[in-house]
């Protein structure tokens, strides 16, 4: 005789959709889905009706019409006859430039400041606290316009270089003016020419060659280091390799630069402005400085929290092993703190990239300034431009976070 | 017995410790010059301090407070401190403080935002400090309507009839629940107020106003500006983003697939785009998504966008708090037989919110700082007003004083918020360390 009996078969009643926990979650989800779809449909329907009434239905063909405006900072060929889509692309490149520059300097500054804030030196740690609290508690937009104002108000105008009221710095190679910085540009007398990428933009072959040589020599010197490590592990004697590694790192690139005929093109004062060299506009510089300083304050706090999360026993053990203070920091504390630091660091990188959209306040032509600024005003296509803009930022954000998450997974503690 | 050869009967008087081991000298040696790298750092820091102060202090001390224009200001400074003196011109703040605080709000109406601000402090006090009597929370609940009425003005019947919707919710629940069961009561509690707001609130308010016209002068949103605008947007965003963030965080951790994916989609979308794009949407696009002919206020639209934006960040902060709770807490709540909402309300949320206080306040601070972005879409927040003030002939070219004033105001508010969060953390700390 079986002790188990089938549960009595209940007939399904409509009330069970709500009162029976087996079905209730399904009911809630379906109701939520229907409500969401209905809401979305209502919004889309309204938008379609409104846009149709205004005579501008959703279409993106305007992107291929001539833009009719100039962009002062462009890394790829662009003029006012180029289509809007190209203007947006130029803006995207500018956004990426400021994001990469900003993230790099903010990381360096942030790590230094975060470590210094924990320093035993009273004056230095107090100064760093003041720095962090000042920058964190004032809006970034204010910092951006403030830095821009400093550049415009306190730097000399180019004509003052003519009268001798201002001089170029660093052996007459760099000029700091209120229109921006003029720095020497790299030139190649035996240039390899440009490579055309799908006929859209051009990349200098010289640049590619330099990057390739740098990467190869870096990999080669890593290989030398690995070999030395292996020999040390096997025999206990470390072969002297520093001259090999230095040579591998520098000789190929020097040879390449010599072959290409590398020389610097210095900026020169001609007429009322500087000609030649690279012109870093003050919109770029002030945005870069303001974003770096602002984000560095947050990164410094993350670094400090990360270092404090490493237990005290670790540094005591390191001192017991006879490591110096800086060795303890570099070999014991920072590698462990890094695991704690990276997740907030990712979100600071994302914040910096998103904050770079405030470029519009100082007239730096990033993608917000081109696509959602001038293109939007000239074509009156709010819906299309803003959809595109949001998609671009979403793509950038998601790629940054996926790359950094991949890195985070690579360095995080492997637990079994 | 012989005498003990030598016993010291009187002690050698205590010597003062070496000069290098006491007092300020020891402190300086230990904290400023313990070794060579630190000494270098100290000297660098001192040099930097000297540079910064030698640039700032003359500017601050050679300042002119009463002046009607920038030129007059410079004249005063030149007369007082010599021909080359450069000084701060605080005259602009004295002359234009009312604009920086209230924007273009009519001067004879300043009592309204001031009253609203004082009442805001009263309404916040029971939320912030537990010593204040709990009954005051009643006032906090009514405060949003008072704030709306004081700031915008117009007929008193509109905020009253909107408030009546909230009264309708429990009433309709009470009436329907005994008749058609608890569930129908809950549905009625949601549906009746929504119907009231959607269909009846406006006409009823209009009718009451035509019968008994009680109210104060209506001030349109274009007149709002200055810190009043920042605080209005900031407070609304703060008050609304916390509950919305909690709901989103719960949605993201929910087992229900559709709810979970909707929450994730919303949060990741909002966190993936800059606030400025959402403000562009508010200023140019939001009206397209509503039935033809509806327009609603730009400040309201900005508030909605700012709230949605910080709600997504808030959700992530709270999700962190929820994830940090030990699993045993959830299991204990289940074992006690609490249902989902009771478990959340009584066990999970109090702990999760406590863990995430620093993050929550950080999000609030970020939100308040982000209100400056509205100047880009043309609203007159302090930063936008600084441009407007510069556009005036008298103050053309003044920069640092305005920026310093605005920065100082933001700094005070944000710094006090972060200090309050530390106080709250200490007060709520229950573990023994």
B124-177 residue pLDDT tens: 888 888 888 888 888 888 898 898 888 888 888 888 888 888 888 888 888 888
> Is the CB of B292 less than 8 angstroms away from the CB of A46?
yes
Q: How confident is the model at residue A349 (pLDDT cuts 50, 70, 90)?
A: very high
Listed by number, the residues of chain B in 343-372 with a beta carbon closer than 8 Å to a beta carbon of chain A are: 365, 369-370, 372
Interface test with A, best of B277, B314, B367, B390 (most A CBs within 10 A): B277
More confident residue, A416 or A389: A389
- ipTM topping 0.95: no
Position A286 scores a pLDDT of 92
The yes-or-no verdict on residue A325 having pLDDT over 70 is yes
Token couple for A407: 């890195």
- Asked which of A146-155, B2-11, B403-412 is least confident by mean pLDDT, the reply is B2-11
Chain A interface includes B183 (CB < 8 A) = yes
Smallest CA–CA separation between A32 and chain B, in Å?
Answer: 7
> Is the CB of A120 less than 8 angstroms away from the CB of B38?
yes
Chain B interface includes A330 (CB < 8 A) = no
The mean pLDDT of A224-240, rounded to a whole number, is: 89
Which chain A residues are within 8 Å of B291, Cβ to Cβ? 46
Write out pLDDT tens, residues B37-66: 889 989 999 999 999 999 888 888 888 888
> Is the CB of A142 less than 8 angstroms away from the CB of B277?
no
Listed by number, the residues of chain A in 84-113 with a beta carbon closer than 8 Å to a beta carbon of chain B are: none
Cα separation, A387 vs A62, in Å, equals 14
- Asked which of A10-19, A27-36, B14-23 is least confident by mean pLDDT, the reply is A10-19
The yes-or-no verdict on residue A24 having pLDDT over 60 is yes
The mean pLDDT of B393-413, rounded to a whole number, is: 89
> Is the CB of A47 less than 8 angstroms away from the CB of B289?
yes
> Is the CB of B410 less than 8 angstroms away from the CB of A390?
no
Chain A interface includes B41 (CB < 8 A) = yes
For Cα atoms B246, B251, B254, give the angle at the middle one, nearest 5 degrees: 125
Whether residue B382 contacts residue B408, with contact meaning beta carbons closer than 8 Å, is answered with no
How many H-runs (helices) and E-runs (strands) does chain A carry? Answer: 15, 9
The yes-or-no verdict on residue B260 having pLDDT over 80 is yes
Interface test with B, best of A141, A369, A374 (most B CBs within 10 A): A141
E strands, B23-139, are none
Smallest CA–CA separation between B42 and chain A, in Å?
Answer: 7
Cα separation, A115 vs A341, in Å, equals 12
Cα separation, A390 vs B300, in Å, equals 22
- Measuring CA to CA, which residue among A233, A186, A236 is closest to residue A211? A186
Residue for token pair 């019409």: A65
Q: How confident is the model at residue B242 (pLDDT cuts 50, 70, 90)?
A: very high
Interface test with A, best of B254, B258, B292 (most A CBs within 10 A): B258
Q: How confident is the model at residue A257 (pLDDT cuts 50, 70, 90)?
A: confident
The mean pLDDT of A5-27, rounded to a whole number, is: 73
Position A276 scores a pLDDT of 78
- Asked which of A401-410, B43-52, B233-242, B348-357 is least confident by mean pLDDT, the reply is A401-410
Smallest CA–CA separation between A382 and chain B, in Å?
Answer: 7
Listed by number, the residues of chain A in 191-210 with a beta carbon closer than 8 Å to a beta carbon of chain B are: none
Write out pLDDT tens, residues A48-62: 888 888 888 888 888
Listed by number, the residues of chain A in 133-152 with a beta carbon closer than 8 Å to a beta carbon of chain B are: 133-134, 136-142, 145-146, 149
The mean pLDDT of B383-400, rounded to a whole number, is: 86
Exposed e or buried b per residue across B328-341, where buried means at least 16 C-beta atoms within 10 angstroms of its C-beta: eeeeebeeeebeee
| Partner residue facing A398 (CB), from B42, B259, B272 | B272
Q: Classify the phi-psi angles of A171: left when phi > 0, otherwise alpha if psi is within -120 to 50, otherwise beta.
A: left
Instruction: Provide the mean pLDDT of chain A.
Output: 86
The yes-or-no verdict on residue A147 having pLDDT over 80 is yes
More confident residue, A200 or B298: B298
For Cα atoms B108, B143, B295, give the angle at the middle one, nearest 5 degrees: 70
The yes-or-no verdict on residue A1 having pLDDT over 50 is no
Which chain A residues are within 8 Å of B257, Cβ to Cβ? 29
The yes-or-no verdict on residue B433 having pLDDT over 60 is no
In CATH, B99-105+220-391+402-433 is 3.40.50.12780: no
Position A54 scores a pLDDT of 84
Q: How confident is the model at residue A82 (pLDDT cuts 50, 70, 90)?
A: confident
| Partner residue facing A50 (CB), from B274, B288, B373 | B288
Position A416 scores a pLDDT of 55
Which chain B residues are within 8 Å of A121, Cβ to Cβ? 31-32, 34, 38, 41-42, 45
Position A212 scores a pLDDT of 92
Burial class (CB in 10 A: 0-12, 13-18, 19+), B276: buried
The mean pLDDT of B313-318, rounded to a whole number, is: 93
The yes-or-no verdict on residue A10 having pLDDT over 90 is no
Position A7 scores a pLDDT of 61
> Is the CB of A139 less than 8 angstroms away from the CB of B48?
no
> Is the CB of B410 less than 8 angstroms away from the CB of A376?
no
Could you give the C-alpha distances from B217 to A281, B119, B209, B213, B214, in angstroms and in order? Answer: 49, 20, 13, 12, 10
The mean pLDDT of A92-98, rounded to a whole number, is: 93
Chain A interface includes B329 (CB < 8 A) = no
Q: How confident is the model at residue B365 (pLDDT cuts 50, 70, 90)?
A: very high
The yes-or-no verdict on residue A311 having pLDDT over 90 is no
Which chain A residues are within 8 Å of B274, Cβ to Cβ? 354-355, 357, 368, 393
Q: How confident is the model at residue A143 (pLDDT cuts 50, 70, 90)?
A: very high
CA dihedral A358, A364, A370, A375 (to 10 degrees): 90
Q: What are the beta bridge partners of residue A262?
A: A188
The yes-or-no verdict on residue B432 having pLDDT over 90 is no
Write out pLDDT tens, residues B265-297: 999 999 999 999 999 999 888 888 888 777 778
Q: Over pLDDT 70: what percentage of chain B?
A: 98
- Asked which of A373-382, B176-185, B226-235 is least confident by mean pLDDT, the reply is B176-185
């Amino acid at each position: 005789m079986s002790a188990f009996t089938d549960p009595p078969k209940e007939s399904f009643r409509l009330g069970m959709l709500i009162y029976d926990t087996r079905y209730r979650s399904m009911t809630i989800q379906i109701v939520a889905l229907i409500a969401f779809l209905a809401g979305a449909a209502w919004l889309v329907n309204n938008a379609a009706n409104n846009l149709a009434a205004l005579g501008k239905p959703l279409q993106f063909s305007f992107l291929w019409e001539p833009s009719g405006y100039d962009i002062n900072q462009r890394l790829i060929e662009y003029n006012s006859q180029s289509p809007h889509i190209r203007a947006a692309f130029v803006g995207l490149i500018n956004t990426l430039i400021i994001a990469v520059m900003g993230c790099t300097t903010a990381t360096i500054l942030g790590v230094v400041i975060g470590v210094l804030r924990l320093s035993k030196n009273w004056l230095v740690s107090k100064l760093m606290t003041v720095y962090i609290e000042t920058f964190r508690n004032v809006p970034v937009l204010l910092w951006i316009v403030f830095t821009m104002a400093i550049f415009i108000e306190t730097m000399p105008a180019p004509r003052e270089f003519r009268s001798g009221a201002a001089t170029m710095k660093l052996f007459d190679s760099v000029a700091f003016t209120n229109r921006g910085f003029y720095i020497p540009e790299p030139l190649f007398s035996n240039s390899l020419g440009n490579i055309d990428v799908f006929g859209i933009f051009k990349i200098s072959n010289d640049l590619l060659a330099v990057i390739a040589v740098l990467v190869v020599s870096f990999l080669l010197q890593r290989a030398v280091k690995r070999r030395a490590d292996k020999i040390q592990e096997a025999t206990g004697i470390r072969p002297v390799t520093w001259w090999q590694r230095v040579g591998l790192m520098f000789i190929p690139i020097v040879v390449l630069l010599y072959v290409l005929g590398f020389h610097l093109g210095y900026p020169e004062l001609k007429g009322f402005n500087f000609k030649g060299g690279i012109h870093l506009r003050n919109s770029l510089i002030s945005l870069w400085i303001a974003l770096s300083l602002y984000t560095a304050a947050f990164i410094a706090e993350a670094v400090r929290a990360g270092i404090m999360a490493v237990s005290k026993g670790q540094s005591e053990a390191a001192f017991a092993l006879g490591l110096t203070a800086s060795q303890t920091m570099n070999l014991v504390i920072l590698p462990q703190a890094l695991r704690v630091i990276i997740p907030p660091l990712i979100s600071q990188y994302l914040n910096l990239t998103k904050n770079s959209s405030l470029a519009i306040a100082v007239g730096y032509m990033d993608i917000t300034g081109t696509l959602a600024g001038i293109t939007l005003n000239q074509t009156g296509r709010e819906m299309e431009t803003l959809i595109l803009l949001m998609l671009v930022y979403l793509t950038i954000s998601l790629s940054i976070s996926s790359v950094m998450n991949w890195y985070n997974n690579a360095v995080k503690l492997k637990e079994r | 017995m012989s005498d003990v050869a030598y016993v010291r009967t009187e002690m050698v008087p205590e010597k003062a410790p070496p000069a290098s081991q006491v007092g300020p000298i020891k402190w300086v040696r230990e904290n400023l010059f313990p070794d060579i790298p630190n000494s270098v750092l100290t000297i660098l820091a001192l040099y930097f301090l000297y540079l910064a102060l030698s640039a700032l202090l003359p500017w601050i001390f050679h300042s002119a407070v009463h002046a009607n224009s920038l030129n007059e200001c410079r004249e005063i400074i030149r007369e007082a401190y010599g021909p080359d003196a450069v000084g701060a011109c605080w005259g602009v703040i004295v002359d234009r403080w009312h604009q920086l605080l209230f924007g273009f709000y009519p001067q004879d109406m300043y009592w309204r935002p001031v009253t609203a601000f004082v009442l805001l402090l009263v309404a916040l006090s029971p939320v912030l400090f537990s010593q204040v009597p709990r009954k005051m929370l009643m006032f906090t609940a009514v405060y949003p309507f008072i704030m709306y009425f004081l700031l915008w003005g117009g007929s008193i019947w509109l905020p009253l009839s909107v408030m009546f919707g909230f009264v309708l919710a429990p009433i309709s629940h009470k009436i329907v629940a005994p008749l058609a069961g608890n569930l129908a009561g809950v549905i009625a509690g949601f549906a009746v107020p929504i119907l009231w707001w959607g269909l009846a609130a406006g006409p009823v308010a209009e009718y009451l106003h035509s019968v008994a016209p009680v109210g104060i002068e209506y001030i349109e949103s274009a007149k709002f500006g200055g810190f009043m605008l920042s605080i209005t947007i900031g407070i609304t965003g703060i008050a609304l983003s916390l509950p919305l963030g909690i709901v989103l965080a719960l949605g993201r951790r929910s087992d229900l697939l559709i709810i979970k994916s909707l929450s994730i989609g919303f949060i990741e979308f909002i966190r993936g785009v800059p606030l400025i794009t959402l403000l562009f949407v508010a200023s140019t696009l939001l009206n397209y998504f509503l039935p033809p002919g509806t327009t609603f206020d730009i400040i309201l639209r900005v508030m909605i966008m700012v709230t949605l934006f910080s709600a997504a960040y808030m959700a992530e902060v709270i999700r962190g708090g929820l994830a940090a709770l030990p699993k045993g807490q959830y299991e204990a709540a289940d074992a006690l037989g609490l249902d989902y909402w009771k478990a959340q309300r009584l066990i999970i949320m109090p702990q999760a919110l406590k863990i995430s206080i620093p993050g929550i306040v950080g999000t609030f601070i970020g939100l308040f700082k982000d209100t400056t972005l509205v100047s880009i879409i043309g609203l007159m927040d302090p930063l936008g007003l600084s441009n407007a003030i510069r556009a005036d002939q008298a103050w053309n070219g003044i920069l640092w004083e305005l920026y310093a004033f605005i920065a100082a105001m933001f700094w005070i508010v944000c710094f006090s918020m972060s200090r309050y969060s530390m106080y709250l953390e200490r007060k709520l700390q229950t573990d023994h360390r």
